[in-house]
Amino acid sequence: MNVFEAIYTLRAIRRFRPDPVPPELIWRVLEAATMAPSGGNRQLWRFIVVQDRPLKEQIAQFYREGWDRLYGPIREQALADPNMAPIYRSAEHLAHHLAEVPVLILACLQTSPWPVSTSPPGSYIYPAVQNLLLAARALGLGTVLTTLYRVHEEEVRQLLGIPEGWETMALIPLGWPAQPFGPLRRIPVEEVTYWDRWGQKRKR
Ligand SMILES: Cc1cc2nc3c(=O)[nH]c(=O)nc-3n(C[C@H](O)[C@H](O)[C@H](O)COP(=O)(O)O)c2cc1C
């Protein structure tokens, strides 16, 4: 699969088959992640692959609490909106079934001591996370970048023994998709691109 095909079909996958993911494929997507650029090539990242069921159950509970707290209150409103309803249903499904996803990957970043840098923390690790998502897509594996569990960041750090100075930046469920990849719905590039000055658009 060429890189554009992977990019253009990289849907958020939130429904997974229970089939296990072979270890060599887990290594492959993680190695792709570690090929990403980072400020000063510091590579201040670590990845935790969680497959142990009791650990996944605990993380899923933290995630579910994040979902309930942030999105529970807008359930009726979201389901009444034809644009929002499919995303809401899909995200709700994941929130209820996270522990069943074969692999959960936590992307961790050393944020303290923070290097002398103008770069905000996320910029040091999200290129690696995106590499991981694209590599998974190229292998036919589904992923979605998630952050809702972070309402319990401290508890997640304790559960997994993540040391001081490190924090989790994303949780990526990984598995064989039980829904189609793509197509993507995005704002057309002409609408989000300005030329020379803010607001100056061009036709393509
Ligand atoms: C920073 C960030 C945080 C996200 N957090 C969550 C999350 O906690 N749960 C979730 O289900 N999806 C999460 N997503 C996935 C987005 O909802 C998804 O990428 C977006 O709706 C586009 O979906 P599509 O590629 O299927 O069109 C997150 C995405 C990003 C980039």
Task: Answer yes or no: is pLDDT of 67 > 90.
Answer: yes
Question: What's the pLDDT score for residue 112?
Answer: 92
Best CATH choice for the domain 3-192 from the list 3.90.245.10, 3.50.50.60, 3.40.109.10, 3.30.420.40? 3.40.109.10
Cα first-last separation, the chain: 27
Atom 25 of ligand 1: nearest residue by CA position: 11
Determine the distance separating the centroid of ligand 1 and the alpha carbon of 196, expressed in angstroms: 31
Task: Answer yes or no: is pLDDT of 65 > 90.
Answer: yes
Determine the distance separating the centroid of ligand 1 and the alpha carbon of 146, expressed in angstroms: 6
Phi/psi of residue 146, each to 5°? -130, 155
Task: Answer yes or no: is pLDDT of 21 > 90.
Answer: yes
8-state DSSP, 113: S
Closest ligand 1 atom to the C-alpha of 149? 8
Task: Answer yes or no: is pLDDT of 117 > 90.
Answer: no
Question: What's the pLDDT score for residue 197?
Answer: 98
Instruction: Give, for ligand 1, the residue of 92, 145, 168, 172 to mutate: max count of ligand atoms closer than 8 Å to Cβ.
Output: 145
Closest ligand 1 atom to the C-alpha of 14? 11
* Residue 144 near ligand 1, beta carbon < 6 Å: yes
pLDDT single digits (tens) 160-199: 999 999 999 999 999 999 999 978 999 999 999 999 999 9
How far apart (Å, rounded) are the C-alpha atoms in residues 50 and 52?
6
Residues 174, 143 contacting (CB under 8 angstroms):
yes
* Residue 146 near ligand 1, beta carbon < 6 Å: yes
Q: Is the dihedral of CA 194, 9, 83, 150 positive or negative?
A: negative
- Which residues is 172 bridged to in the sheet? 105
Query: Per-domain residue ranges for the chain?
Result: 3-192
Question: What's the pLDDT score for residue 116?
Answer: 82
Closest CA to 14 of 185, 144, 183: 144
How far apart (Å, rounded) are the C-alpha atoms in residues 25 and 138?
11
